[in-house]
């Protein structure tokens, strides 16, 4: 029988050790809009909502201290790398500042931000308030692939990989220099109160990887390895968020030392849960896998519970699984009742101390 653990943090630590804790841990990344809706519907504050859901994680975030911006008309935000954006949510880039760069020197001369602008002043106070009860994520999100797309433009970036690789190398080096130093400052302040370095780069589409293994290993993997090694030097596990179907890239990520993948979208090509668990279940922690595109959006509480049980049947044996939605954030249009059904099913059916019945009928293979 599995031991009864006393805290969410111990539960998550057991999963990262590929052991079976008392139950499958729960992860809830929520959009601000969904969280506001859920708080309103359930009449709870933010912490009360996370307690109701059984969220085993808390996240430390260090904002950038930037000068006040006087944004021109039509610009809703500007990234730390100077890219103007407009539209819903984070918006889309309005222009690509380095699209016309033709020399490495132009990349070097771009006004790169000072990592010292990251504000670490409240990290320890915030983490200490959780009293060691939860698994704490921290570090800079480090979406350098997305930033490279913003700065060059997607088509230009992909063409440069073939016809001007030194420009791509210079761009990625500068981006990751900023992110690595930002995270180093965060870890110097509070790594002893953290468990997981959480980074994010979307490398997959609905139909497969955005880059083949050769280009991925040539351009992106060295920088991911650099971030992974940084987290490990501070005694942290490293988890990467990655949307889409990117299974052909997983062997290289495992070789680079990555500890966990989030959010595992089962309806994307190549992301068959049974196959992923069989091949990588002893090497990677899988976080997510309960389908946000169809199950949580289109289902009912009863069907969500059924599909959640099916995912648990596949993913929980032997540990190494954290249950949650297959997206970095639960979107506002998602039913609160469906999210509660997912959470409650994991907390009851996802217990290792009880014998699971046979596989549950569902849309999952």
User: Of 328, 320, 362, nearest to 345 (Cα)?
Assistant: 362
Residue 177 lies in a domain: yes
Query: In sequence order, which ranges of the chain are alpha helices (DSSP H)?
Result: 8-16, 32-42, 46-53, 104-108, 123-129, 144-152, 154-163, 165-190, 213-215, 221-233, 250-255, 273-280, 295-298, 301-315, 336-349
pLDDT value for 3 = 43
Q: How confident is the model at residue 5 (pLDDT cuts 50, 70, 90)?
A: low
Residue 362 lies in a domain: no
Mean pLDDT for 118-142 is 97
Task: State which residues form the domain around 268.
Answer: 8-349
pLDDT value for 356 = 47
Mean pLDDT for 123-137 is 97
Residue 359 lies in a domain: no
Mean pLDDT for 169-190 is 98
% of the chain at pLDDT higher than 70: 95
Give the pairing of strands 92-93 and 84-86: antiparallel
What is d(CA 25, CA 135) in angstroms, rounded to the nearest whole number?
Answer: 10
- pLDDT tens per residue across span 68-115: 888 888 899 899 999 999 988 778 999 999 999 999 999 999 999 999
pLDDT value for 235 = 98
Residue 357 lies in a domain: no
| pLDDT of 357 higher than 80 | no
Residue 197 lies in a domain: yes
| pLDDT of 361 higher than 70 | no
DSSP states of 171-225 as a string? HHHHHHHHHHHHHHHHHHHHGGG--EEEEE---EETTEESS-HHHIIIIIHHHHH
Give the pairing of strands 196-200 and 135-138: parallel
What is d(CA 302, CA 291) in angstroms, rounded to the nearest whole number?
Answer: 15
Q: How confident is the model at residue 6 (pLDDT cuts 50, 70, 90)?
A: low
Mean pLDDT for 331-341 is 97
Torsion of CA 206, 239, 201, 111, to 10 degrees: 170
- Please report, for the domain that includes residue 173, its CATH number: 3.20.20.210
Mean pLDDT for 332-350 is 97
Residues 6+ apart with CB under 8 A from 100: none
Cβ-contact 26, 55 below 8 angstroms: yes
- pLDDT tens per residue across span 28-63: 999 999 999 999 999 999 999 999 999 999 999 999
Q: How confident is the model at residue 362 (pLDDT cuts 50, 70, 90)?
A: very low
> Number of folded domains in the chain?
1
Residue 67 lies in a domain: yes
Q: How confident is the model at residue 66 (pLDDT cuts 50, 70, 90)?
A: confident
| pLDDT of 363 higher than 50 | no
What's the whole-model pTM score?
0.94
Residue 211 lies in a domain: yes
Mean pLDDT for 294-304 is 97
Mean pLDDT for 305-315 is 98
- pLDDT tens per residue across span 182-233: 999 999 999 999 999 999 999 999 999 999 999 999 999 999 999 999 999 9
Residue 363 lies in a domain: no
Greater pLDDT, 40 or 354? 40
What is d(CA 120, CA 117) in angstroms, rounded to the nearest whole number?
Answer: 9
């Amino acid at each position: 029988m599995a031991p009864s653990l006393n805290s969410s943090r111990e539960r998550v630590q057991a999963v990262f050790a590929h052991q079976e804790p008392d139950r499958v841990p729960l992860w809830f990344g929520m959009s601000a809009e969904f969280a506001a809706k859920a708080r309103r519907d359930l009449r709870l504050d933010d912490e009360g909502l996370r307690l109701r859901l059984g969220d085993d994680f808390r996240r430390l975030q260090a904002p950038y201290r930037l000068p006040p911006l006087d944004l021109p008309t039509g610009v809703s935000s500007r990234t730390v790398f100077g890219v103007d954006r407009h539209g819903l949510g984070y918006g889309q880039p309005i222009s690509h500042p380095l699209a016309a760069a033709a020399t490495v020197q132009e990349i070097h001369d771009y006004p790169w931000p000072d990592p010292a602008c990251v504000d670490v002043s409240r990290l320890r106070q915030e983490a200490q308030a959780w009293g060691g009860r939860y698994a704490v994520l921290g570090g800079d999100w480090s979406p350098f692939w997305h930033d490279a797309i913003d700065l060059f433009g997607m088509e230009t970036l992909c063409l440069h990989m073939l016809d001007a690789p030194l420009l791509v190398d210079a761009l990625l080096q500068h981006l990751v220099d900023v992110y690595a130093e930002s995270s180093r400052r965060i870890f110097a302040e509070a790594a002893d109160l953290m468990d997981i370095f959480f980074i994010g780069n979307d490398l997959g589409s609905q139909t497969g990887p955005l880059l083949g293994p050769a280009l991925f290993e040539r351009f992106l993997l060295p920088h991911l390895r650099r971030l992974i090694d940084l987290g490990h030097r501070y005694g942290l596990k490293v988890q990467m968020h990655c949307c889409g179907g990117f299974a052909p890239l997983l062997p290289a990520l495992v070789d680079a030392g990555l500890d966990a993948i989030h959010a595992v979208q089962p309806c994307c090509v190549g992301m068959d849960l049974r196959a992923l668990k069989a091949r990588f279940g002893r090497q990677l922690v899988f976080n997510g896998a309960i389908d946000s595109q169809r199950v949580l959006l289109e289902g009912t509480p009863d069907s969500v519970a059924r599909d959640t049980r099916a995912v648990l049947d596949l993913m929980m044996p032997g540990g190494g699984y954290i249950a949650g939605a297959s997206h970095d954030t639960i979107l506002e249009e998602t039913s609160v009742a469906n999210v509660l059904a997912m959470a409650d099913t994991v907390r009851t059916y996802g217990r290792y101390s009880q014998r699971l019945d046979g596989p549950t009928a569902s849309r999952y293979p």
